[in-house]
Amino acid sequence: MLFQLGHGHCVVAHSNQEARPDGTTLAAVRGRNGNAKRGAPPPDFGAFGYYFRDAPEAFPGKNTTRALDALGDAMAEPPEAARPDSRIPVIFTYLGQFIDHDISAGTDRDAGLSMIDGDDIAPAPRELVMRDRLNLRAGALRLDSLYGDSPDQEPFSRKLASLLRDPDARAKMWLGELVDTGRGRVPLPEDGSGDLLRLGRLLEEPNKQLDEAEIRALPEPFRRDFINQDGSIRTQRAMIGDARNDENLILAQLHLAFLRFHNRVVDAASNAGGPHREGDDAVYNWARQLVRWHYQWLVLNAYLPKVCDQSVVADVLGQGAPLYSKFYGDQMARAANALPPGHMPLPLEFSAAAFRFGHSMVRASYDWNRYFGRPANSEGLRDTRADLEQLFAYTGNGARPMPAPEGGSHPGLPGHWAPEWERLVDVHVVLRDRATRRIDTLLAPPLTDMSNAPTDAGGLFRRLAQRNLRRGYRLNIPSAQDCIAGIYAQTGAAIDTLGADELTSGPTGEAVREGGFVTRTPLWFYILKEAEICADGQHLGPLGSRLVAETLAGLVINDKTSYWNQIGSDAGRWHPRDAVTAGERIVDSMAALLRAARVL
């Protein structure tokens, strides 16, 4: 349960939560004594490791940090640039972020691993990283961020976890209502439950579940997650399993869609084989299992084929994710059974590099709905899209949350800020700006100066590319070329390496050449360059596809409770058609899930 987490530094797609800016580790936040045996994580934490632990170490060079910063600068797209888009619907950018928050929340027992500022950083020894970099998530694709599942919670977190469920229908998840501001509302959802549950609703009658006094009595730094700097209660804070899912409005609304889907599955319990006569807890657990299986199926069968090379995905699934399966076996043996049951270790080549490819997909603005985008009918109305700053403002994490034009703020999401999902889940043949940006080495201008990021003396935290490159270097992530060699050695899969001319092409070429990155290329940058060169930015290239597909498929394949290991109609394996729910719909696409949730 991540109610106790701060908001972290990473504020866009595929981010991992780091130690707090004041250096407080989350082990301390959760009251852990830090006396766990060295080499094994505390009992409620997951583990990070390396696919290629024995690859050559990143070498500390006198000018390496400066060279990485120069490469990051070269990755900034000029504001006036006009570039073609991908064919990937926008929803998949934020589904990637949703997946990341579900499986990982990184922290360090040694806060020094998170220190990436300064003029000259050095890579940490991999043994130290594996020992001290911990995962507050189980690592498995089980929607812990939705349901707030976590063992060994302290009392207030347990209370908050219980509040995720609807007090009047305990099998369902508790939703928030859109605020009627008199400015209109999009047609869906018809029932008005178009916002996340917010703290203010729990402090007031008739839904009062919490007292302001118990919020103010919380210990630091837990307390600051619920109280603003001026001492006022942060009433807009979303009461969800992971507060990071309310950091931008697209992600928040995707989280809401999954909550609504759960509730629709509950509605179907009486005619879909559910235990409707056995009480709310039984129905809740039955629905949660079905939602998890649908989610896992969609990750492997909808998300991966959209963002990866489909031939690589097919190969990985056909072979049972051999790279991750070997990593899993090695990590579990190494941990000497120290990981709790059901926990899945995560490779840092994935978490700290490959899975951050989604940063390049983020748009500067979105065709969000008829009020902030193309009008419902095109007669005489101006097309004003929702920009990133607005999409961060209308969340519980905004500097002035839910701002009202006349001043002040709204208690929840205004009705005219709900999305029209058809603009985000499909790519119109003509309206291609409803797709993501291409996956390449140039980031949208807002990501080079993120106004909602924490401040620091050099502005580092506001520059996403520099942060990613520095963090990969600090965590001693193997170079792309070493990863390619490691994949061949472990699985026999041969991947062609980009040549010098390819790596030094385009606006980033000089920085690659001058930084000495031609033969040992930072993995995150290489993943983006490979997609740009090999797939025209329409999906990941061979290395990126292999690392992403191996990890996400491996998490499902090696989880005995996942859909992959259940009997069903798909050549003996479970398929969404085996659990027709939510109005007799087969939920086998993201569009189908949104329709089942009645937001599309």
Total tally of structural domains belonging to the chain: 1
Which helix (DSSP H) or strand (DSSP E) does residue 526 occupy?
helix 523-535
Residue keyed to tokens 């580092």: 460
pLDDT one-digit tens code per residue, 93-134: 999 999 999 999 876 555 678 789 888 899 999 999 998 888
pLDDT one-digit tens code per residue, 317-347: 999 999 999 999 998 887 655 677 789 999 9
Give a yes or no: residue 30 inside a domain: yes
280 or 333, greater pLDDT: 280
pLDDT one-digit tens code per residue, 23-75: 222 333 333 333 334 444 454 567 899 999 999 998 777 799 999 999 999 99
CB neighbourhood size of 400 (10 A)? 11
What is the pLDDT, as a whole number, of residue 454? 55
Give dist(CA 428, CA 352) in Å, integer: 33
What residue spans of 346-499 are helical by DSSP H?
A: 348-351, 388-393, 422-425, 464-474, 480-491
Tell whether the model's pLDDT for residue 5 goes beyond 80: no
Residue keyed to tokens 């990755």: 75
pLDDT one-digit tens code per residue, 163-202: 999 999 999 999 999 999 999 999 999 999 999 999 999 9
Domain containing residue 254: CATH number: 1.10.640.10
Which helix (DSSP H) or strand (DSSP E) does residue 145 occupy?
helix 144-147
Map 563-584 to HEC letters.
Answer: HHHCEEEECCECCHHHHCECCC
Query: How does residue 272 score in pLDDT terms, banded at 50, 70 and 90?
Result: confident
Asked if 54 contacts 485 with a C-beta cutoff of 8 angstroms, the reply is: no
Q: Give the rounded distance of the alpha carbon of 10 from its chain centre.
A: 10
Integer CA distances (angstroms), 181 to 393, 417, 479, in order: 17, 10, 52
Asked if 88 contacts 435 with a C-beta cutoff of 8 angstroms, the reply is: yes
pLDDT one-digit tens code per residue, 281-308: 999 999 999 999 999 999 999 999 999 9
Q: Are strands 46-49 and 346-347 parallel, antiparallel or unpaired?
A: parallel
Record the tokens describing residue 418, joined without a space: 């709900």
Asked if 222 contacts 363 with a C-beta cutoff of 8 angstroms, the reply is: no
Give a yes or no: residue 56 inside a domain: no
Residue at 461: amino acid letter: F
Phi and psi based region of residue 346 (left: phi greater than 0; alpha: psi -120 to 50; beta: remaining): beta
Record the tokens describing residue 571, joined without a space: 């050549």
- Domain extent, residue 255, equals 26-51+69-77+86-147+155-198+236-596
Give a yes or no: residue 61 inside a domain: no
Give a yes or no: residue 205 inside a domain: no
Query: What integer best gives the mean pLDDT of the chain?
Result: 86
What is the pLDDT, as a whole number, of residue 36? 39
CB neighbourhood size of 222 (10 A)? 18
123: helix, strand or coil:
coil
Number of residues written out for the chain: 600
pLDDT one-digit tens code per residue, 423-453: 999 877 678 789 999 999 999 999 987 655 5
Give a yes or no: residue 306 inside a domain: yes
Q: Give the rounded distance of the alpha carbon of 101 from its chain centre.
A: 4
